[in-house]
Amino acid sequence: MQKGIKKEVVRLIFRSKNIGLRFPSAIGGNERDINMAEAALMKGIADKTLDSEGAKIQEALCINKAAVSQMLGVLERKGYINREINKDNRRKIILTLTSEGQKAVKSTERTIDALLSEIIERFGENDMKQFIPQFNRFVDIIAELVK
């Protein structure tokens, strides 16, 4: 029995990893699409909850410092953000959205909201309330074991 469960756990991990939500850009082609982490970062910049502190971004998005730097570079090349050195503290960077970035955030927010509403409706609100802590526990256990 345990062998079958192990196989299903591995399959679940791979399935969830491959979801890779991408949101089409209102401007340009596929190269301007954004993924869920980029959308969350841009939203954080827009509402000023994720400013230039890399540690805050790392914690919020569950990624490492190199991934933060890479993501900022990608968003800058796509024309969604600007990075400027803080004149008062040259070790800090000021992140702002471009007008294209602001449009992308608004569009993506609407898409994500509709997607989440549909997921919750299909899964059921009560089931979702039970699933979230269970899935968090599952991920915590994996993270603890693979350290």
| Cα–Cα separations (whole angstroms), residue 95 to 8, 51, 83, 126 | 42, 6, 5, 38
CA distance 100 to 105: 9
Which structural domain, as residue segments, surrounds residue 78? 2-145
Predicted pLDDT of residue 18:
65
Mean pLDDT by 10 residues, the chain (147 residues): 84 76 61 84 89 78 88 94 88 90 92 90 96 92 89
Q: Are 136 and 66 in contact (CB under 8 A)?
A: no
Per-residue confidence (pLDDT) for residue 71, from 0 to 100? 92
Burial class (CB in 10 A: 0-12, 13-18, 19+), 81: buried
Write out the two tokens for 98.
């471009």
Token pair for residue 113? 């909201």
Whole-structure pTM value:
0.77
Angle between helices 99-123 and 125-145 (to 10 degrees): 110
* pLDDT score recorded for residue 20: 66
Supply the pLDDT for residue 1: 61
What's the rounded Cα separation, in Å, for the pair 41 and 35?
Answer: 10
pLDDT at 42: 93
CATH number at residue 133: 1.10.10.10
- The total domain count for the chain is 1
Selection from 108, 113, 115, 119 nearest residue 34 by Cα: 108
